[in-house]
Amino acid sequence: MESKGRFGVHGGQYIPETLMNAINELEKAYEYYKNDLEFNRELTQLFNEYAGRPSLLYYAEKLTKELGGAKIYLKREDLNHTGSHKINNVLGQALLAKKMGKTRLIAETGAGQHGVATATAAALLGMECVVFMGEEDTKRQALNVYRMKLLGSDVIPVTTGTATLKDAVSEAMREWTKRISDTHYCLGSVMGPHPFPTIVRDFQAVISRESRQQILDKEGRLPDAVIACVGGGSNAIGSFYHYIPDESVRLIGCEAAGRGIDTFETAATVNTGRIGIFHGMKSYFCQDEYGQIAPVYSISAGLDYPGVGPEHAHLHDIGRAEYVPVTDDEAVNAFEYLSRVEGIIPAIESAHAVAYAMKLAPTMDKEKIIIITISGRGDKDCAAIARYRGEDIYE
């Protein structure tokens, strides 16, 4: 069995022969450019001058006092251009694609956040861009479809399967096999076949590279826990990465439990899934009794994916990171709580991490430190949360 790109037993390259050339070309290019000074200088410039990095590490004093335990810091990825951590990965991959001589980006998107980020990078770097989006999602996220078009991208509705994110991923992979000469597939999370989980992780690792230095500057020591939400797992692995060797730092990933892990309406992959092979990788997936990928549910469209990145699956297996389920209800409460207490409206995805911190912080001593990654801002979620509370407002 293929041993490249393994995280323990997970990861690998489970792909059709037709994708092998594109994947090999990408791997070779990445191996070269990741150590290229000019590439890294250009990427750092894009991060700092365009995306607004470094993002703040903010001491949430009111939140800390209200919860009455550990000192809480927020890593503010919501302040990045386009409103989330997704721009980190997209700028990295778009620049890499450009160096490889590609002129066209394709991407999949669920809620539309990754599609908008990719369309943004394509506009900036003067590349063509086509985004695949489940037809169901194009209806639910009409505003993001408009944004992508405004940025100069084409949006292709995908009608296969459940017409949602997993089908958009499959379609983007299919499109890539048809047109690899000028096209790069800009994958949106730490998933898919090697080298994607490594590439995306390296670009997102800027989060923990910064936060580690920032907390050392502010507190003179490392945090006791780092908490992030997990969909595919890119903001979480980026938040964890530079702390993995520091055994004293608890790494906690918050999965979307939806209506609860004892129901079928959940997206908590590590907590309810089983090992399988899908979308080019071995990892944990939500599956039905026949081993088919199960439909998943969460109030948060960004966490609504039936798999998890292979490096998370491995960190779970070896006990280095913990994966905890957080329900819709808990996330909505945290969404409202952080807004009220700190004046920061988090993405509903990020609110899953806030919700777990609200449980954990009061159990910890006052000299302990928690960092929560706020992966994105919550403006996009306001209408849906209002609806959840029974109030109908127009978007």
Ligand X SMILES: *Cc1c(COP(=O)(O)O)cnc(C)c1O
Binding site for ligand X (CB under 6 A): 84, 86, 113, 189, 229-236, 302-303, 347, 349-350, 375-376
Smallest gap from residue 232 Cβ to ligand X (A): 4
- Cα angle value 358/363/369 (rounded, 5°): 75
Smallest gap from residue 243 Cβ to ligand X (A): 17
Q: Which residue is nearest to ligand X (CB)?
A: 376
Catalytic annotation present for 86 = yes
Catalytic annotation present for 375 = yes
Catalytic annotation present for 350 = no
71, 86, 102, 282: which one is catalytic? 86
Smallest gap from residue 161 Cβ to ligand X (A): 20
Nearer to ligand X, 84 or 208 (CB): 84
Nearer to ligand X, 141 or 189 (CB): 189
Nearer to ligand X, 249 or 351 (CB): 351
Smallest gap from residue 8 Cβ to ligand X (A): 19
Contact 115, 105 (CB under 8 A): no
211, 239, 300, 375: which one is catalytic? 375
Report how far residue 154's alpha carbon sits from residue 372's, in angstroms, rounded to the nearest whole number.
35
77, 108, 255, 342: which one is catalytic? 108
Smallest gap from residue 220 Cβ to ligand X (A): 29
Smallest gap from residue 78 Cβ to ligand X (A): 7
Nearer to ligand X, 13 or 235 (CB): 235
Report how far residue 106's alpha carbon sits from residue 104's, in angstroms, rounded to the nearest whole number.
7
Contact 312, 253 (CB under 8 A): yes
Smallest gap from residue 229 Cβ to ligand X (A): 5
Contact 108, 168 (CB under 8 A): yes
Report how far residue 154's alpha carbon sits from residue 170's, in angstroms, rounded to the nearest whole number.
18
Q: Token digits for 35?
A: 């150590």
Report how far residue 377's alpha carbon sits from residue 346's, in angstroms, rounded to the nearest whole number.
5
Nearer to ligand X, 120 or 375 (CB): 375
Nearer to ligand X, 180 or 309 (CB): 309
Neighbours of 104 (CB within 10 A): 15
Nearer to ligand X, 235 or 283 (CB): 235
Contact 239, 350 (CB under 8 A): no
Active site amino acids? 86, 108, 375
